[in-house]
Amino acid sequence: MEEACHWSLGNTRSISEEYVRWLKGYCEAFFYGLRVKLLEPVPISATRCSFRINDSTQNLQIHAGQILKFLKKRKPEDAFCVVGITMIDLYPRDSWNFVFGQASLTDGVGIFSFARYGSDFYSSHYEGKVKKLQKKSSSDYSVFDNYYIPEVTSVLLLRSCKTLTHEIGHIFGLRHCQWLACLMQGSNHLEEADRRPLNLCPICLRKLQSAVGFSIQERYKALVRWIDDESTDTPGVTPKHSREDNVNLPKPVEAFKEWKEWITKCLAILQK
């Protein structure tokens, strides 16, 4: 069975292990039948990527394209794709303001930032602002130590799941959907992205089914289990012992309730 691998980039605190496990479980349900493997967190210094302070937001940013090259060199041989996720803002080139994510479909690698999905990113009191880099050296990555972590909310989790599955969908060959309300619709800003549904339209769902080979009914059941299982990482499976057992946080799934009702209706039709 092919794997899709996730790598978290940045300070190991910048995305909690709990949060990454929730995303892992969601991807396993969405791409039902694929095994999703979590790789060890990677510090920014290991990527040797360029970084800067954004002139508009006064926020730290890392170079997306250089991280893709890093991921390509370290992509496991048995992986269909490897994606990096970070809470640090991204930019694709010096002339661009920012980018939510970037992927190479031919290489099967992607990097996605959830920094701008936090509720306070665009506010004047955002705590991730950096007035200036203490040192001009391009090899001094200490500025990323203990970097600001936005509050994990249900909306942040919802947006993160949408981005991950949309972009990995591209790696599976799904193009932007122009016809129906669909996860694969393109978006140019956050408001448009929020209007996209979590689900694929029937056409894109059939394309993904052709690529992965899942039972649509079993996939829907797995997605419902992921929403209902408020702390486990794998749909329908309770871990025996976790290092985080003593700090197990409830999964914030309030924003998924409407979608759960939609899936439940689909299952009712399929089971007739």
Instruction: Give kind and range of the element (H or E) at residue 100.
Output: none
| The dihedral formed by the CA atoms of 183, 188, 193 and 198, expressed in degrees to the nearest 10 | 10
Cα distance between residue 91 and residue 70, in whole Å: 16
- How far apart are the C-alpha atoms of 233 and 120, rounded to whole Å? 27
Residue with tokens 């990677």: 42
**Integer Rg of the chain from CA:** 18
β-pair type (51-53, 60-63): antiparallel
Q: Checking DSSP bridges between strand 101-104 and strand 109-113, what pairing results, if any?
A: antiparallel
**Active-site residue, 167 included:** yes
Among 127, 167, 192, 261, the one annotated catalytic:
167
Backbone angles phi, psi at 36, to 5 degrees: -110, 125
Catalytic positions are 167
